[in-house]
Amino acid sequence: MARAWARLTLMEVKLYLREPVAAFFTFAFAPMMLILFGSIYGNRPSPLLGGRGYVDVSVPAYLGMIIATVGLISVPIGTAVRREAKVLRRFRAMPLPPAVYLTAQLAMYVGVTLLGGIALVLVGRLLFNMRFEGDPLSVLVGFTLATLAFLMLGLAVGSLTPTARTAQAVGMILAFPMMALGGAWMPLEILPESIRRISEWLPLTHVVTLMRGLWAGGSLGSHFEDLAFLVATGAIGGLLAARFFRWE
């Protein structure tokens, strides 16, 4: 069973990498934005950003952008496309339990999201001498939890939408405004106060706040509110996905 799960996960990774749009937004979009805006603003410490540079705060925020892109766009589209192509029905007919396929999917998405994050961090470090003051294990735990929360949301969207085109539209409607308002595109500090009050109710805001805090040396315990919000988000998304997921 374990060998079959590993082979299925590896196959899913290869299929994901063959999709040029998904691969672009996972591995290239955030590094390109970092190179563009990092070249404009540099990485000099700024009092507005708590003594950190633009790149120092943008890298953890852009990690949230990668998480949202995979969770709210790639997952719903991939789920709906496979349902339309009858792939899910064939997987259900396999002798393997359905849970094997679903967990392989989750592992694949977590893996590619992590690889996209590593690519972003390397660009920030090599090109802009990005500073990192946090605990790598805490950052990894926070990143994984945030990724799982958005994957559950994406599964819920993919379960509720009837077609791939609808899934794409709904995913983008959810993802891009959340990126703009949640601090993933620009630092929360420069957003108007009215926008920041609205953004407190967005899951991505809590991802950005969590990742920026851990990046700067904060502990997981100091971000209990962000963690609780993301756990609740993942639980709601998971319940909706379990209730409405359709194999065909």
Render pLDDT for 63-86 as a digit per residue (tens, 0 to 9). 999 999 999 999 988 888 878 777
pTM of the entire structure? Answer: 0.92
* Residue-averaged pLDDT of the chain: 88
Read off φ and ψ for residue 247, nearest 5 degrees: -80, -20
What tokens appear for 154 in the block? 């994406």
Q: How far apart are CA 172 and CA 153, in angstroms?
A: 13
Confidence at residue 94, expressed as pLDDT on a 0 to 100 scale? 66
> Are residues 160 and 72 in contact, defined by beta-carbon separation less than 8 angstroms?
no
241 closest CA partner among 172, 150, 109: 150
3-state helix, strand, coil in the chain (%, to 5): 80, 0, 20
